[in-house]
């Protein structure tokens, strides 16, 4: 596997919930710019934990410890301010999380208001339209922008959350099983959207759906019990995995 | 088989009897409320008039004259209403921000040692008898200020409201999904902004309900006001002087044979006020939950 222009790099990254349990063990991997990289693995393998560490979500929970380095454009984010990091590295969660008290319009702009950035009316309108068009939601919601975000269907809510993350123009977008709470049609929409987005943003997506990884990602990681077992081009990994555990997982003998 | 059928029938009957018993007991608890409401309504209804709400308490002499002449007692409880509103207003204005901030802190740091201690203290404060809060406020506020005042009364009410607001805020914020806060932080917001723009608005319904319940809980407090606000028989707006309150008036009416008639009007007013606050709170809680 060849990396031309990596943007994000895990260097011996470890995440532990307590002294005894290490959820992620010495993971080293570089993520190529403007590609989609999937992280696969059975439940509890540490894939979400690794992803959340890249957004410094662990800073919320004093019991979680992250060691090693996570580099964004060569800079270690673990020693940066979370606020600064999270503006550059956006995140979309498993369940859609529109802010329940905000309208669709305000949800898209939430990143700005939460950062205390003031925008003119025309700037706001422009960002909202552009971001909602980016996630193919504009035509569906342009007449109901003042309704609450929770008024939308699950798939629409998730697209709204992606629009909200994109509004901050992140360099990397982390997605934690973004379609696992959605039906197949909504999932298809989101997958098409993710493929479309990679020209603007680097996407790192956690999924336990092998089909999804195969459909959208160009590179895949396979994690098992906190170890990064294999990391390769998706095509190569699905056709000819190197590690026995990867093979077992991909063929459904382990899951 | 027949045995089985009998057993099932027996069970069904037991179930039915149990259900009837439960309903009966539930109905029994409603009796005191309706008995109180009925009694107060019947005795107090005739006293309610415009002047009852706009005029202060009559002097004992005037009341005596009216009784002797067979006329209704003049005057009303305006001094008490104004006093109650002033003291509750001041207490609420101070208790709400402090209570909400403290509640949010407790909800978000429930595992920290300091938060656990504060949480225990809140419980203890909530359980402190109001008469003790009255005497303590007397020592802390009335003595240094060299006199009873609306300020002292509102301090006592503030102390009583604080734990109620802290608890309701804490409970409401705790049941919000963690993903809400995470999503806010993931967008680069700092803790303060996420709390103000995402957490508190989402919890607004519960917090508002808690505030209403806290107000309705302390509006009828009499003991702490006896040590602090003392009472006043005319309408007064100064916050550094003794002031009246509706529950204080009820106590005063009870102690003055010439004014006893007025007890029921004042009680009815207080009861209706508290009940409507409670109903409003229920309405908001329901609306917020849906």
Report CB contact under 8 Å: B185, A116. no
Rounded Cα–Cα distance for residues A83 and A60 (Å) = 12
pLDDT at B70: 83
Q: Domain for residue A55, yes or no?
A: yes
CB atoms B189 and A100 under 8 Å = no
Tell me the angle at which helices B200-218 and B78-108 cross, rounded to the nearest 10 degrees: 140
pLDDT in tens, A238-252: 999 999 999 999 998
**Mean pLDDT for chain A?**
93
Q: What percent of chain B has pLDDT over 70?
A: 98
Residue B234 CB coordination number (10 Å): 11
Query: Do A165 and B189 make contact, defined as CB atoms within 8 angstroms?
Result: no
Distance CA A69, CA B50 (A): 75
Lookup: tokens for B133: 């809060």
Q: If you average pLDDT over every residue of chain B, what do you get?
A: 92
B216, B278 contact by CB (below 8 A) = yes
pLDDT tens track for B33-50: 899 999 999 999 988 889
Domain assignment present for A32: yes
Closest CA to B146 of B241, B267, B49, B258: B241
Domain for residue A34, yes or no? Answer: yes
Check pLDDT > 60 for residue B290.
no
Percent of chain A with pLDDT over 70: 100
- Predicted pLDDT of residue B4: 75
Taking alpha carbons only, the member of A140, A144, A184, A146 closest to residue A159 is A140
- Distance from chain centroid for Cα A23: 19
* A255, part of any domain: no
Is A160 within a domain?
A: yes
* Domains contained in chain B, CATH given: 78-289 (1.10.3720.10)
Q: Can you say whether the dihedral through the CA atoms of A131, A134, A135, A138 is positive or negative?
A: positive
pLDDT at B62: 87
For A66, the enclosing helix (H) or strand (E) is: strand A65-72
Q: Which of A51, A77, A90, A99 to mutate: most B Cβ within 10 Å?
A: A99
Instruction: Locate the chain A residue with the closest alpha carbon to B189.
Output: A114
For residue A2, the model assigns a pLDDT of: 78
Token pair belonging to A7: 């943007």
Flag whether A234 is in a domain: yes
Q: Are A154 and A181 in contact (CB under 8 A)?
A: yes
Q: Which residue of A has its CA nearest to B204?
A: A101
B14: left (phi over 0), alpha (psi -120 to 50) or beta: alpha
Least Cα separation, residue B122 to chain A (angstroms)? 25
Domain count, chain A: 1
Banded pLDDT at B59 (limits 50, 70, 90): confident
Identify the band that residue A26 occupies on the pLDDT scale cut at 50, 70 and 90: very high
φ/ψ of residue B73, rounded to 5: -65, 130
The predicted model gives A53-72 an average pLDDT of 92
Which residue matches tokens 């049609």? A185
Tens digits of per-residue pLDDT, B224-273? 999 999 999 999 999 999 999 999 999 999 998 888 889 999 999 999 99
H or E element in which residue B248 lies: helix B246-255
Mutation target among B173, B175, B183, B199 for the A interface, most CBs of A within 10 A: B183
Query: Tokens for A185?
Result: 């049609």
Predicted pLDDT of residue A255? 65
Measured between alpha carbons, how far is B123 from A168 in angstroms, rounded to an integer? 43
Residue B127 has pLDDT above 80, yes or no: yes
pLDDT of A227 over the 90 cut: yes
Position B109 pLDDT exceeds 80 = yes
pLDDT of residue B218: 95
C-alpha count within 13 angstroms, C-beta hemisphere, residue A193? 27
pLDDT bucket at B2, cuts 50 / 70 / 90 = low
Q: Do A86 and B186 touch (CB under 8 A)?
A: yes
Which residues fall within 8 angstroms of residue A130, CB to CB, at 6 or more apart? Answer: none
Task: Report which secondary-structure segment, H or E, holds A233.
Answer: strand A227-233
Instruction: Give me A229's structure tokens.
Output: 């077992």
Query: For the sheet containing A89-92, what is the strand order?
Result: A89-92, A172-176, A202-206, A36-40, A219-224, A227-233
Helices assigned H by DSSP within B175-245:
178-186, 191-194, 200-218, 223-228
How do strand A202-206 and strand A36-40 relate by DSSP bridges?
Answer: parallel
What separation in angstroms does the CA of B123 have from each of B116, B120, B164, B224? 11, 5, 9, 19
B287 and chain A: CB distance < 8 Å anywhere?
no
The pair of three-digit structure tokens given for residue A98, joined into one six-digit string: 């529109």
Alpha carbon B275 to its chain centroid, in Å, reads: 10
Q: Which residue did the predictor score with more confidence, B285 or A216?
A: A216
Question: Cα(B17)–Cα(A252) distance, rounded to whole angstroms?
Answer: 56
Which band of pLDDT confidence, cut at 50, 70 and 90, is reported for residue A122?
Answer: very high
- Label residue B1 by pLDDT band (50, 70, 90): low
**A117 neighbors A144 (Cβ within 8 angstroms):** no
Using one digit for the tens of pLDDT, what is the confidence trace for B138-192?
Answer: 999 999 999 999 999 999 999 999 999 999 999 999 999 988 999 999 999 999 9
Interface probe with B: pick from A56, A61, A114, A162, most Cβ of B within 10 Å? A114
Q: Using one digit for the tens of pLDDT, what is the confidence trace for B189-209?
A: 999 999 999 999 999 989 999
Report pLDDT for B287: 78
- Chain A positions in Cβ-Cβ contact with residue B194 (cut-off 8 Å): 114
Which CATH number do you get for residue A227? 3.40.50.300
How far are the Cα atoms of B99, B137, B167, B204 from residue B102, in angstroms, in the given order? 5, 22, 9, 15
Strand pairing report for A36-40 and A65-72: unpaired
ipTM confidence score? 0.90
A113 is a domain residue? yes
Q: What is the pLDDT of residue B6?
A: 79
Confidence at residue B22, expressed as pLDDT on a 0 to 100 scale:
94
Sheet holding A22-32, edge to edge: A22-32, A6-16, A65-72, A75-76
Cα A147 to Cα A142: distance, rounded to the nearest angstrom: 10
Q: Do A83 and B188 touch (CB under 8 A)?
A: yes
Cα A112 to Cα A168: distance, rounded to the nearest angstrom: 7
Q: How far from each other are the two terminal CA atoms of chain B, in whole angstroms? A: 48
Range of the domain at A53: 6-250
- Amino acid A34: pLDDT: 95
Q: Strand A219-224 relative to strand A36-40: parallel, antiparallel, unpaired? A: parallel
- The residue ranking higher by pLDDT, B18 or B4, is B18
- Asked if the model's pLDDT at residue B220 lies above 70, the reply is yes
Q: Nearest by CB to A101, from B188, B193, B202: name it.
A: B202
d(CA A96, CA A99): 10
Residue A63 domain flag: yes
């Amino acid at each position: 596997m060849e990396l031309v222009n990596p943007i994000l790099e895990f260097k011996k990254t470890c995440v532990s919930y307590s002294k005894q349990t290490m959820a992620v063990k010495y993971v080293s991997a570089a993520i190529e710019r403007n590609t989609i990289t999937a992280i696969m693995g059975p439940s509890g393998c540490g894939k979400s934990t690794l992803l959340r560490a890249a957004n410094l979500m662990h800073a919320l929970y004093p019991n979680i410890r992250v060691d090693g380095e996570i580099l964004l454009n060569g800079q270690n984010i673990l020693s940066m301010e979370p606020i600064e990091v999270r503006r550059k590295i956006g995140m979309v969660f498993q369940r859609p999380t529109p802010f329940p008290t905000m309208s669709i319009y305000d949800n898209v702009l939430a990143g700005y208001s939460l950062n205390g950035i003031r925008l003119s009316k025309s700037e706001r309108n422009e960002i909202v339209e552009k971001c909602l068009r980016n996630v193919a939601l504009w035509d569906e919601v342009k007449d109901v922008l003042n309704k609450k975000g929770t008024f939308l269907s699950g798939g629409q809510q998730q697209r709204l959350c992606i629009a909200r993350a994109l509004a901050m123009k992140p360099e990397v977008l982390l997605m934690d099983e973004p379609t696992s709470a959605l039906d197949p049609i909504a999932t298809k929409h989101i997958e098409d959207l993710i493929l479309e987005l990679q020209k603007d943003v680097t996407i790192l997506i956690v999924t336990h759906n092998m089909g999804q990884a195969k459909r959208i990602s160009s590179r895949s990681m396979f994690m098992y019990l906190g170890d990064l077992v294999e990391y390769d081009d998706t095509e190569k990994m699905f056709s000819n995995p190197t590690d026995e555990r990867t093979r077992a997982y991909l063929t459904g003998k382990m899951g | 088989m027949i045995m089985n059928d009998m057993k099932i029938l027996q069970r069904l009957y037991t179930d039915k009897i149990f259900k009837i018993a439960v309903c009966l007991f539930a109905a029994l608890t409603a009796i005191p409320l309706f008995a109180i409401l009925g009694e107060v309504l019947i005795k107090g209804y005739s006293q309610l008039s415009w002047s009852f709400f706009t005029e202060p308490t009559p002097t004992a002499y005037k009341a005596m004259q009216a009784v002797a002449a067979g006329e209704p007692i003049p005057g009303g409880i305006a001094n008490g209403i104004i006093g109650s509103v002033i003291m509750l207003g001041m207490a609420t204005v101070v208790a709400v921000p402090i209570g909400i901030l403290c509640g949010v802190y407790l909800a978000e740091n429930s595992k920290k040692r300091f938060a656990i201690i504060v949480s225990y203290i809140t419980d203890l404060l909530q359980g402190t008898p109001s008469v003790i809060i009255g005497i303590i406020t007397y020592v802390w506020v009335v003595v240094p200020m060299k006199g009873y005042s609306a300020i002292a009364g509102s301090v006592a009410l503030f102390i009583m409201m604080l734990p109620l607001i802290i608890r309701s805020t804490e409970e409401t914020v705790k049941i919000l999904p963690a993903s809400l806060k995470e999503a806010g932080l993931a967008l680069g917001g700092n803790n303060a902004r996420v709390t103000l723009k995402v957490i508190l608005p989402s919890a607004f319904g519960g917090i508002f309900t808690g505030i209403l319940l806290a107000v309705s809980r302390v509006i009828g407090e009499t003991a702490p006001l006896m040590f602090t606000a003392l009472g006043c028989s005319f309408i007064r707006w100064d916050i550094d002087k003794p002031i009246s309150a509706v529950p204080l008036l009820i106590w005063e009416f009870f102690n003055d044979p010439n004014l006893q008639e007025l007890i029921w009007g004042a009680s009815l007013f207080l009861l209706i006020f508290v009940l409507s606050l409670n109903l409003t709170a229920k309405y908001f809680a329901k609306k917020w939950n849906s």
